[in-house]
Structure 1
Amino acid sequence: MTEPPSPSPVLLERLATSRFLTDHARPSVGTGERRSADKGAGMEFADHRPYLSGDDVRHIDARVLARLGQPYVRQYSVDRQLPILVVLDATRSMAHGEPDKLAFALSLARTLGFVGLAGGDVVQGCVFAGERLHYSPRVQGTSRAQHLFDWFGKFGPEGHRSFAEGLGKALPAARRRSLVIVISDFLFEGIDDLMRRAGGARDLEILAVHISSPDELNPALLGSGPVYLVDAETGAEIEVTLDDAVCTSYRETFARWQDTIRSAIRWRFGRYHCFSTATGLEQVFLHEFRRTGVIT
């Protein structure tokens, strides 16, 4: 595995005022910078509601009481943090490519985590490696970014189980209405069923980041004639003769597979992006993610 560098200070500086834009996930934890649906002891007045037995009488609005003759309590908006879970696939198939997919995915995970911290939200990492899930502590504030970077850097590609198993366990364990960022090569079957079964009860919003090596996107880069393809997780080998017809058929199949993933993710209020490992992080964050409204 190629050792992934930490995100460049120049890129992090340009992302320091960014935050995730969500359609379905909701701020629901801690004290943060996002307006929540909760009402309580905040600074900005939201509305009134009738006084109920047990309410603090100090919150009764004297002017409304004098005007209506009925006690009403003043309510204030409460700012919360968005819970963000970054789930990373570190199975053996992620070792493919140059640079390998996992190195690129780790750089993405670190930078995505930084955006969450810069936006005032609470971020937790989750890696499926060695046939089990590993969780980082929940962190907040950009001062904790290096701790998160170092934690992600501990993992290499290992294990023979499908990432579907890990994702199927991570989604039901996520906090309700959280943003779950899934970074994987998605080399498994049943993504539509998995989204319905594992994500529905938690009411999650998914950001799927599909990582592919250049030759997975364009098999013509492998050359022409007979080639041996090896399943990274099972070791099974097959011989394929690459010609124009095979490459065309492959690209059509790959496009249909992407459509399947995209449809499954959209069902979970989510968004889907596919990147080659040859793509620069600046292109991903400063152009693609901003252009499509993933981040500010």
Structure 2
Amino acid sequence: MSFIKTTEQDSNHNHLEKMSVRELLKNINAEDKTVPNAVEKALPQIEHLVTQIVNKLKNGGRLFYMGAGTSGRLGIVDASECPPTFGVPHELVVGLIAGGDTAIRKAVEFAEDSTTQGWKDLQDHNISEKDVVVGIAASGTTPYVIAALKQCNKNNIITGCITCNKNSPLAQVSKYPIEAVVGPEFVTGSSRMKAGTAQKLVLNMITTATMIQLGHVKGNKMVDMQLSNNKLVDRGTKMIMAAIDVSEEEALQLLNQYKSVRNAVKQYNNGRK
């Protein structure tokens, strides 16, 4: 089957420069509304990949995201939010971007075209069969990502991907591809828009579902979250008050003493036995 980049096809809208601000916003919003439906169609693929990730992480493995440009930045954002949200080590979910940390803020020319650097970046983290590597590329053609996943396959490392084109080269080299086909962008080829939104939704699903499966959520609460600011301390205090019959002052004392909602509730209940 031939590969067609729908992310590069001509926009459904034309003469954008002649539109009013309201017209621009309305039309962008109309396009954005189609993204969740595209992600919904990919749910079986997402499930297959998440199942593999959970199994590997339960056995001491790690999850790696790798991409270039917008895709790489989205992976880094998702990885960086796992420790404060779920209380896991920073090394459990790792985001890699073509061009290194400099590329997080500023584009590094031609970094995504390297067919060797991706695998080197993974080797710097002592990648092994215990881990899972997920390539992120809206186009599905990024050499940095594709070449790295090929090397992973050669070394019996589970591979997945998040792309927004059907039957892309990236999907072909991924054991567990996710294809959220969102169609042409509002601004032709600007895949930071619908494609980026789809990737963000999928990334949210992957780590949230994984962390819940690993036991880092109780009921619907982030019981292992890091207490890194006053907002989270206040949230944690209220969570303790809801879980056990204590005052706000007592809940705060328990939280400060045991450093997490889970530990505070556990120690309190143990003390009552």
Which protein has the bigger helix share? Answer: 2
What TM-score results when the alignment is normalised by the length of structure 2? 0.39
Higher CA-based Rg = 1
Which protein has the bigger strand share? Answer: 1
What TM-score results when the alignment is normalised by the length of structure 1? 0.36
Higher relative contact order (CA 8 A, sep 6+): 2
